[in-house]
Amino acid sequence: MPATTLTEDPLVQPAATRAADAPIRVLIAEDHRVTLWGLERLIEGTAPRMQVIGTATTRKALLEHPALPSADLVLMDMDLGGEDACETLGELLQRCRGHVLVLTGEDSPVKHREAVLHGARGLVHKSQAPETVLLAIEKVHRGEVWLERGMLGEVLGQLTGRPPVAPQSPEQHAIAQLTPRERQVITAMTRGVGRKQMAVADELGMSEHTLRNHLTTIYSKLHLRGRLELHVFATRNGLDRDEPGPAGRG
């Protein structure tokens, strides 16, 4: 899944207080032994860029780990030992000076959003390539947020008190490409089944040739094959009602 990052002021990040060439000190919290082993090998293989300073397989072991206070980043399974990461993040961030990157196998946007709003600096899915996990670690360590693009806007909307923008359906996206004049054409064309194009053109103050050109563009934008499909589409999406638009010919 594609992800995006949001850069914050590096002067307030813990990484700024350490030497630029110092390895990123990573504490891994994962209860699946095979996954834990793989993550250790992956991160240690980047030496000297990164260093695994400890591992934990339960919430209790993570919070009591002696290396936690000095970790630059905690890579934590969202479902650590069967416990929700959101219930751990508050206390974890009080004990750790670094950031938390959540590793998840879940596809629930609700759970992902909750983790970020509880303090996680990012999420990376377990289905991602190993290189993506390493990149996410580096980005979060530098003070950036690692999230899928769709989730980033939603989370920022909640943090700033603005309502999230609902994702557009394919039909809504296509409608958004229409000009005001094209919407007028659609309204006029669907006002009455069986109306001749000449009558519609006269109503709109344009030539029949211009009307046909508009319809060709409309059919292309809306992925329709003719007037009948246009009528169904317009009725379903409320385009059969009058829209204000420019007057005159054209």
CATH code for the domain in which residue 135 is found: 3.40.50.2300
pLDDT tens digits along 171-203: 888 898 899 999 999 999 988 667 788 989 999
pLDDT tens digits along 79-115: 887 887 788 888 999 999 899 999 988 877 778 888 8
Residue 164 domain-assigned?
no
Model pLDDT, residue 11: 31
**The last residue of a domain, from among 117, 133, 159:** 159
The pTM (predicted TM-score) of the whole model is 0.56
Q: Based on the domain organization, do 98 and 212 belong to the same domain? A: no
| Domain that includes residue 202, residue range | 170-236
Q: Based on the domain organization, do 15 and 116 belong to the same domain? A: yes
Q: Based on the domain organization, do 176 and 150 belong to the same domain? A: no
CA dist list (Å): 215 to 24, 182, 210, 211, 221: 59, 8, 9, 6, 10
Model pLDDT, residue 250: 54
Model pLDDT, residue 147: 81
Q: Based on the domain organization, do 147 and 25 belong to the same domain? A: yes
Model pLDDT, residue 167: 57
**The last residue of a domain, from among 159, 189, 214:** 159
Q: Based on the domain organization, do 181 and 112 belong to the same domain? A: no
Phi, psi at 4, each rounded to 5°: -135, 160
**3-class DSSP state for residue 100?**
strand
Residue 246 domain-assigned?
no
**Nearest Cα residue to 39 out of 92, 75, 3, 82:** 75
Percent of the chain with pLDDT over 70: 79
Residue 215 domain-assigned?
yes
For every residue of 201-224, DSSP letters joined together read: HHHHTS-HHHHHHHHHHHHHHHT-
pLDDT tens digits along 2-31: 565 544 433 333 444 455 678 999 999 999
Give yes or no for a contact between 191 and 243, defined as CB atoms under 8 angstroms apart.
no
Q: Based on the domain organization, do 185 and 69 belong to the same domain? A: no
Token pair recorded at residue 8: 């914050």
Residue 248 domain-assigned?
no
**The last residue of a domain, from among 103, 133, 159:** 159
Q: How many domains does the chain have?
A: 2
Residue 90 domain-assigned?
yes
